[in-house]
């Protein structure tokens, strides 16, 4: 990370350090710089995944472009201005319009997995919505569900009922983001399925810039979604994945209580996770992967 004096000289200011991304202000722009950090169970792991930040930034780049006809987004560009000498940010940087993030996370679920499966197995419901009996882990839901949550600064995001979400952002805006989230998911799911990836669920985030609603943050990445290889999909249990569920499953095999500090990842888990993220990018946006290869080669 560049030091503070260099950033101040160049007009950069660190705004926020998240679990996996750092946010900076530069002139009238907001910059998102994706790191190689990885988190699981609300803990930042001590072992990074080399190249992860670039892979996810470039994947979001592909999705923002593909989905722009459905919803305007916050992206201004991905280039590093010539006066900013931080070569390590190349491929990791998203230059964005500053906006006011909505205080909810927009979760869309098409399949019974993760916390949705646990809730269904216990109550027969998902996000309070009753479902038919007899569904298995990994089954498609009878209909795609929009299940908003809180956006927690620390700890777990918590489910919100429609009325609770409406209280946070207003009924009209809630109706807009729920419709948009479902439309974005359907478009993304169709595109990914044609390339051998089943998108089981995902998270979208939105922000307001004046009166304009924008799609922000990251879009349909292995950090914000469950990606399953379509050719290996077998409902009735856990699915192979291209996302960080692989890391979660490894951590679940350890005698760790999910409280910091998190245990380090062995080299084999790091390498396999890196391969899974890269394979997802290759399947979804092969031309962008080639550009990323050229960037990495130029950086040495």
Domain span(s) for CATH 3.30.200.20 in the chain: 4-98
**pLDDT tens sequence across 208-234:** 999 999 999 999 999 999 999 999 999
Percentage of the chain lying above the pLDDT 70 cut: 98
Angle at 82 between CA 77 and CA 83, to 5 degrees: 115
Give pLDDT, residue 246: 85
Q: Are 104 and 148 in contact (CB under 8 A)?
A: yes
Q: Is the pLDDT of residue 155 over 70?
A: no
CATH 3.30.470.20 is right for the domain spanning 100-254: yes
Q: Which CATH architecture has domain 4-98?
A: 2-Layer Sandwich (3.30)
Give pLDDT, residue 45: 96
Give pLDDT, residue 244: 85
Tokens (6 digits) for 147:
């299940």
Domain span(s) for CATH 3.30.470.20 in the chain: 100-254
Q: Is the pLDDT of residue 190 over 60?
A: yes
**pLDDT tens sequence across 237-291:** 999 999 888 899 999 999 999 999 999 999 999 999 999 999 999 999 999 999 9
| CA 264/CA 251 separation, integer angstroms | 9
Angle at 297 between CA 293 and CA 90, to 5 degrees: 80
**pLDDT tens sequence across 92-144:** 999 999 999 999 999 999 999 999 999 999 999 999 899 999 999 999 999 99
pTM: 0.95
Residue closest to 185 by CA, chosen among 205, 202, 207, 163: 202
| CA 129/CA 161 separation, integer angstroms | 10
Q: Are 248 and 40 in contact (CB under 8 A)?
A: yes
Give pLDDT, residue 25: 97
Give pLDDT, residue 153: 62
List alpha helices for the chain, DSSP H. Answer: 4-9, 52-67, 114-123, 162-169, 171-193, 245-252, 267-284, 286-299
Q: Is the pLDDT of residue 292 over 90?
A: yes
SS3 172: helix
């Amino acid at each position: 990370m560049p030091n503070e004096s260099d950033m101040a000289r160049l007009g950069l200011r660190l705004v926020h350090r998240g679990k996996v991304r750092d946010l900076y202000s530069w002139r009238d722009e907001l910059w998102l710089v994706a790191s190689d950090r990885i988190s699981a169970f609300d803990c930042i792991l001590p072992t990074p995944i080399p190249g992860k930040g670039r892979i996810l930034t470039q994947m979001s780049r592909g999705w923002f472009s593909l989905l722009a006809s459905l919803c305007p987004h916050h992206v201004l560009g991905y280039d590093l201005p010539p006066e900013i000498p931080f070569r390590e940010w190349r491929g990791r940087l998203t230059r964005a319009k500053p906006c006011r993030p909505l205080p909810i996370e927009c979760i869309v679920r098409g399949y019974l997995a993760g916390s949705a499966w646990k809730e269904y197995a216990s109550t027969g419901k998902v996000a309070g919505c009753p479902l038919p009996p007899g569904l298995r882990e990994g089954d498609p839901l009878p209909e795609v569900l929009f299940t908003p949550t809180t956006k927690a600064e620390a700890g777990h995001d918590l489910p919100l009922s429609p009325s609770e979400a409406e209280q946070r952002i207003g009924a009209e805006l809630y109706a807009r983001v729920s419709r948009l989230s479902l439309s974005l998911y359907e478009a993304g799911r169709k595109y990914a399925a044609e390339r051998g990836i089943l998108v089981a669920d995902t998270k979208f985030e939105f922000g307001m810039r004046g009166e304009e609603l924008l799609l922000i943050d990251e879009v349909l990445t292995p950090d914000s979604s469950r990606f399953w290889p379509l050719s290996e999909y077998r409902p009735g249990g856990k699915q192979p994945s291209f996302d960080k569920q692989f890391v979660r499953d490894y951590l679940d095999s350890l005698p760790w209580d999910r409280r910091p500090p998190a245990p380090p990842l062995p080299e084999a888990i790091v390498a396999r996770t890196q391969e899974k993220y890269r394979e997802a990018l290759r399947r979804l946006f092969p031309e962008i992967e080639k550009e990323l290869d050229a960037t990495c080669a130029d950086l040495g």
